[in-house]
A and B are shown apart, each in its own frame.
Chain A
Amino acid sequence: QSALTQPASVSGSPGQSITISCTGTSSDVGGYNFVSWYQQHPGKAPKLMIFDVSNRPSGVSDRFSGSKSGNTASLTISGLQADDEAVYYCGSYRSSSTQVFGTGTKVTVL
């Protein structure tokens, strides 16, 4: 059950937009519209930012958006802010009620 592939790090200046990719296979990301994204600050539990590819939970800023094309999903953070600095994980349903997470991307606000 190999993890989904994410870039190790992405950086941007305040106010800029950044995009994090999440590459899987047709058995997970490409096969279902059940991609989610999580934000994790150091020492904290993950927080759901996007579910079902592009939906935001109540309370999550509309600066966060998600999309998917084929076997690759993406998270875009627009208007980058200092508090966005965190590790971001994608997640996907894989089949038979199993799940898989991405390798994680460290976002740095320059």
Chain B
Amino acid sequence: EVQLVESGGGAVRPGGSLRLSCAASGFTFEDYGMDWVRQAPGKGLEWVSDINWNGGSTSYADSVKGRFTISRDNTKNSLYLQMNSLRAEDTALYYCARKGYLQEAFDIWGQGTMVTVSS
């Protein structure tokens, strides 16, 4: 079964850091681009970051650029999001999502991991 499982969320103070992980299974992880998408409580989807199949190309939303770093380890079938200098507005459910093969759409999503930034 194709599956993405996120972990690493939790409560953190403003200015703090967290590292999210996403474990992939059921498909050849290195064949796919991967992204992080977040959803603040009661709000819509917001694209956060993208990484290509080998980690050689990354992109970020302006709202997180310079604070978040996306990475992947194809030997461990894992995707990561290092989040630094966290702000209250980063509070959200963070989804890991797979880009469809040769597509720009997200065909597989995890269930999300919640990040709460509060003093």
Contact = CB atoms under 8 A, between A and B. Distances in A.
B47 A101 contact: yes
B105 A36 contact: yes
Interface string B70-113: 00000000000000000000000001000010011111011110
Interface in B24-47: 35, 37, 44-47
Interface string B42-63: 0011110010100001111111
A99 interface: yes
Contact of B46 (A34, A47, A97, A101): A101
A98 B45 contact: no
Interface residues of A, number: 26
Interface residues of B, number: 26
Given A45-B95, A100-B47, A103-B44, A91 B63 contact: no
A68 to B, nearest CB: 14
A38 B39 CA distance: 14
Interface of B: 35, 37, 44-47, 50, 52, 57-63, 95, 100, 103-107, 109-112
Given A38-B106, A102-B44, 4 more contacts: A34-B105, A51-B103, A101-B44, A101-B45
